[in-house]
């Protein structure tokens, strides 16, 4: 997509569980956390979410499930 960069799965999963905030030295963590914040803002007002048809909301829900199960390995 023009103007957007892809976030790797590894970076996304790190950012979901990172507690260091702005001082995290992992590449793109802070940027990814901002993206997650925008996803949360979207989900808070999404009318399609309740019908289960919004891909953005589904992505956010998947990251929430991972956070709950972060001790898988």
pLDDT of residue 12: 85
25-70: pLDDT as tens digits: 988 998 899 988 998 899 888 888 666 678 888 888 888 877 655 5
More confident site: 13 or 73: 13
Q: What is the DSSP code string of 4-62?
A: --PPPHHHHHHHHH---GGG--STTHHHHHHHHHHHHHHHHT-SSGGGT--HHHHHHHH
Distance CA 30, CA 24 (A): 7
pLDDT value at residue 68: 58
pTM to 2 decimal places: 0.71
CA dist., res. 60 & res. 7, Å (int): 14
């Amino acid at each position: 997509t023009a103007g957007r960069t892809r976030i790797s799965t590894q970076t996304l999963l790190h950012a979901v569980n990172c507690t260091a905030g702005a001082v995290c030295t992992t590449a793109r963590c802070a940027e990814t956390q901002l993206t997650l914040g925008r996803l949360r803002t979207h989900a808070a007002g999404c009318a399609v979410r309740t019908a289960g048809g919004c891909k953005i909301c589904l992505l956010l829900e998947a990251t929430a499930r991972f956070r709950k199960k972060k001790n898988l390995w």
